[in-house]
Amino acid sequence: MAEIVVRSLSGLQQQVIDRPHSFIADEPAEYDGDDLGPDPYGLLLSALGGCTNITLLMYSRRKEIPLTGVETRLRNDRVYGEDCLRCEEDGEYMDLIERHITLRGPLAAEHLTVLARVAARCPVHKTLTRGLVVRDTVVGA
């Protein structure tokens, strides 16, 4: 089980600690941040993009598919009630992530078909589309 520790620093800066790695998350200046790192939605999209690329590369190596590189571009948006079939009340929305994957290498059409299916099975994609539960514990120190 992965454990990430996030500690508040000055302003809106957050130190993100993952095993021996550490980096800063922040908000852009227009949201009163110092823009010293990705914002929370940028981190979420990064997790999906990184998992997508790693999954495709690992699968291609195992199956000897001549994939030489992957670029995934991601955007998030909100789809509001009138445009959202799953939204039941006005003002409700669902989050939408658009993922555009560019595969590099001498790939045949059947490779593209297989790799598109593999991309949809990356663990982070499955977690996000399957739904998840967040259990909170809040304590004073």
Quick one: 71 and 103 in the same domain? yes
Quick one: 57 and 112 in the same domain? yes
pLDDT, tens only, 37-46: 999 999 999 9
Q: What's the number of domains the chain is made of?
A: 2
Q: Tokens for 5?
A: 């520790």
- Give dist(CA 2, CA 10) in Å, integer: 26
pLDDT, tens only, 70-80: 999 999 987 66
Residue 136 in any domain: the answer is no
What is the pTM (predicted TM-score) of this model? 0.86
Quick one: 65 and 117 in the same domain? yes
Average pLDDT over residues 92-98: 83
Short-list 14, 4, 98, CA closest to 49: 98
Residue 73 in any domain: the answer is yes
